[in-house]
Amino acid sequence: MFAGIRSFSFVDVPDFVSAVLFTQGCNMRCPWCHNHSIAYSDTKEQISIEYILKQAEFLRKRVDAICITGGEPTIHKELTAVIEHLKNTLKYYIKLDTNGTNPQMISELTHENLIDYCALEIKAAPENYQKLTGSPADFSRVLQTVDTLRKSSIEYELRMTYVPGLSSKHDIFFFKQLLEEKERAYITIAQSTDIYTVSPMKELIPKRFILR
């Protein structure tokens, strides 16, 4: 399930110094993915849940929060049990990053008070989702997650990454229209100037493109 752990981060959880857990694999294939080495691969050697929980226990003396990111964390059915341990036994503040395609799991996590903060990335306007995600994503599931977060009592943010060469002004306009008053939201620009395609041999081929 896990691809890595970072002991300290000052930027991943608002107002906290945190540890960061990276989960392996993703149900999307965003051609601009900044974590493609772990998101695109399900076969890379994985770190055991037991090891991650031991490290989390050790780090608890030093940090109060954990960010769980990926890849896409919610593709792993073990996620709920892992978070339950981090939250209820180790008493961590939990932030979860998600692409919003598993509204059932987000609903369960919020109802059980297992996460404190959720960052949901809206990739594009619905008609551009396939282009930005490289996959036939069901946008209605993402909207269900938005709805779940709005009805929950946890803190959350909606964000969009503007990818030069792939995103359009229409995506930004759609994102602004989606937002409710005073909702926390961010638009960032993709830091990588590479987009990737997967070759028939499963190799990643970087394709340079020019920032407009």
Q: Which residues bind ligand SF4 (CB under 6 A)?
A: 26, 28-30, 33, 35, 39, 70-72, 99
Of 63 and 163, the one with the shorter C-beta distance to ligand SF4 is: 163
Rg (CA), the chain: 17
Q: What is the closest distance, in whole angstroms, from the C-beta atom of residue 23 to ligand SF4 in the complex? A: 9
In the complex with ligand SF4, the residue whose CB is nearer, 40 or 93, is: 40
Of residues 141, 146, 193, 138, the one with CA closest to residue 166: 193
Q: Scan for tokens 């041999």, then name that residue.
A: 201
Pick 172 or 198: Cβ nearer ligand SF4 = 198
Q: Which helix (H) or strand (E) holds 130?
A: helix 129-133
Q: Are strands 65-69 and 2-13 parallel, antiparallel or unpaired?
A: unpaired
Strands (E) located in the chain: 2-13, 16-23, 65-69, 93-98, 117-121, 155-162, 185-189, 194-198, 204-208
Give the shortest CB-132-to-ligand SF4 separation in angstroms.
8
Residue 110 dihedral angles phi and psi, to the nearest 5°: -75, -40
Helix (H) or strand (E) holding 49: helix 49-59
Q: Which is nearer to ligand SF4, 26 or 124 (CB)?
A: 26
The least CB distance from residue 167 to ligand SF4, in Å, is 13
3-state helix, strand, coil in the chain (%, to 5): 35, 30, 40
* Least Å from the CB of residue 122 to ligand SF4: 11
Residue (33 or 94) nearer to ligand SF4, CB: 33
Least separation in angstroms between CB 121 and ligand SF4: 7
Nearer of residues 20 and 28 to ligand SF4, judged by Cβ: 28
Task: Give the shortest CB-51-to-ligand SF4 separation in angstroms.
Answer: 22
